[in-house]
Structure 1
Amino acid sequence: MKDTLRARFDGMTAMQQKAARFVLEHPNDVVTASMRTVSARVEIPPATLVRFAQLLGFDGWPELKAALVQDMGLGSEPYAHKARTLADRARDGGAGLAGEIFTTHRDNLDATERASGDALPRAAALLEKARAVHVAGFRACHPVAYSLMYVYRLFRDSVHLLDGLGGSLEMQLRAMHKGDAVVVISFSPYSREAIAVARQARGAGCQVLALTDTPSSPLALLAHEVLLFSTQSPSFFPSIAGAQALSEALLGLLVSRAGKAGIARIEGAEAQLFETGAYLPPAP
């Protein structure tokens, strides 16, 4: 839908262009709010929104909203429904379920590389130029965010995790300033906190790097640079293997470009981990 809106934008009336901008910039609000709420926010009569939807080939606003839900990847099966399917497979002995999961992970990695291989160097450059880097991932994406922050801190001090621990997210967001970069990770159904971080980052003048699942996700629409990962899985929950692979590939690029100074920081961090007892010494 995003491409259709942009292609037809110049031929729209001023009111229709106003509606198109809102759909492009606030897709999450369009799919979660009523038409009357959207009408009030955009200051366009509901009848005009209906005609706008019809202009795009839909019968009305509900059909436009349903299409946007699918476009954003929000129309997937509920977790419980997929879990019931797995329970049915258990009754016939699993029929190679574990092998299917590993095969899907390999396919996810291939799809992720195809989708984001060209964008990885641009993403690394965006982080290198930043005064500080803030990393956010909530719920299932938290391990990816934490891993990215943890390894990045081995060769760069100005990397910070936005985790909202103890209800501190608002306080952590105040540390973002113009010239910083913010990495936000989320997939459908998208975390409300991740969207809030991305919006706050844009408002603060930060560069936003999104790791997400589709080009039309709310994060992708807010980001300056996007890395896409595949989340397919025969299990009941989406896979984060692609997201973790992107994180590790990004870190590898950053280290390769950090030069002697980066290597020295890694040597110092590693030595400290052994000296403090955080790492066990190698076996004799």
Structure 2
Amino acid sequence: MTRHSNESDSPLDTVNQRLAALYPELSPQLKQAAGYVMEHPLDIAFQSIRKTAGAAHVTPSTLVRLAKRLDFESYELFREVFQSAVQTPPVRLSGRANQLRHQASQPDDPLFVDVGDAAFDNIGRLFTADNQARVRDAAQQILAARNIAVVGFRDTFACAYHFAYVGRIAMPNITLIRGLEGGLLTELDRFDENDLVVAFGFEPYCAETVKALDVTRANGVNAIVVTDTMRSPLVPGARLSFTVANATPHFFPSILSAITLSEAILAECVAFGPNALVDNVSQFEQRMRQMGAYVDVD
């Protein structure tokens, strides 16, 4: 399925989406090059073709072939797309964690600081000018949809649950897909071209999430995908894709950036949506207090 074009797409977005769509049919060498390109945009922007080829373990001619496969007349024109995209660098918050490291004299548990350093870096990579435009685009798509299905299993179920729980407070047309007891197809069957699916998935990618996107795509449902790389099997056919950093010294991928992205998108929905969304939030709080869901502190 061909990706829908959006006015907010940057040239780099377009290149990455085309690479993701072409990836399954590329030769092994071109796949190697494409994977490196999608995961190292800064290197593509600033390194020579020879240095990039060495880092990607391919030949310079392979990079040239990849650029031409994407209809660029030369590798230099291809690289200019990456150079333009990185002129506005991401906010670098990792330095704050490094300051903590310097402030602590011989910490008993340096892993604690390492986790914080990774968290700050992951969040910093999220807040870029390109992502700001994509967040606005995602909010507009959510607001325009009749119903929104939210999908995420295993390591990203927490992301899907958080998005659906918080989102439903303002937008009751959001549904969390649980897929319990083999009910995945039944839950998804009612969604069609008037609806939207928001899917979360990191490597190792869950077969259920891929299946959910296959089913909704066949029914004409547009998708917003939150994943870790443009090589993700969740990306092809998605209307809008976010790649978030999830590195951590912890043994499990970090979901911090995905949760933060969810909060940014949902905040944008309320900020630019109809007044009814604000009313829904107020009414939810009133109902919760009437039912005694909250404990007041004197």
| TM-score between both structures, scaled by the size of structure 1 | 0.68
Alpha-carbon distance in 1 for matches of 2:204, 2:221: 25
Structure 2 residue 213 is matched with structure 1 residue 198: yes
| 1:133-172 equivalences in 2 (<5 Å) | 133-172=148-187
| Secondary structure in 2 matching 1:230 | coil
* Structure-1 separation of matches of 2:289 and 2:38: 46
Unpaired runs of 5+ in structure 2? Answer: 1-13, 40-106
Q: Which amino acid aligns with 1:105?
A: A
Find the aligned partners of 2:249 and 2:222 in 1 and give their Cα distance. Answer: 35
Q: Secondary structure at the residue paired with 1:125?
A: helix
Q: Indicate whether 1:111 and 2:125 are aligned.
A: yes
> Contact 2:197 / 2:221 at 8 angstroms: preserved in 1?
yes
Structure 2 residue 248 is the aligned partner of structure 1 residue 248 = no
Contact 2:23 2:34 in 1 (8 A): no
Which stretch shifts more, 217-226 or 243-252? 217-226
Which residue matches 2:85? none
C-alpha distance 194-214 of structure 1, shift in aligned 2 (>3 A): same
Partner of 1:98: 112
TM-superposed CA distance for 1:67, in Å, is 7.0
Given that 2:17 and 2:230 are in contact with CA atoms closer than 8 Å, whether structure 1 keeps it comes out as no
Residues 233 and 265 (structure 1), Cα distance of their counterparts in 2 relative to 1, 3 Å cut: same
CA contact (8 A) 2:149 2:176 kept: yes
For 1:233, the equivalent position in structure 2 comes to 248
User: Does the 8 Å contact 2:247/2:253 carry over to 1?
Assistant: yes
Q: Which AA in structure 1 matches 2:237?
A: L
Deviations 1:252-271 (A, max 9, x none): 11111124211111111111
Name the residue aligned to 1:275: 290
Deviation at residue 68 of structure 1 after TM alignment: 7.6
Identity %: 28
* Structure 1 residue 171 displacement after superposition: 1.0
Aligned residue identity for 2:216: A
Match of 1:222? Answer: 237
Aligned-CA RMSD value: 2.9
- What is the CA–CA distance in structure 1 between the aligned matches of 2:161 and 2:21, rounded to whole Å? 30
1:128 aligns with 2:128: no
AA at the equivalent of 1:165: L
Deviation at 1:212, TM superposition (A): 0.7
1:210 counterpart (219, 225, 232):
225
In structure 1, list runs of 5 or more residues that go unmatched.
8-22, 31-51, 59-63, 74-92
TM-score (norm 2): 0.65
Q: Do structure 1's residue 264 and structure 2's residue 253 form an aligned pair?
A: no
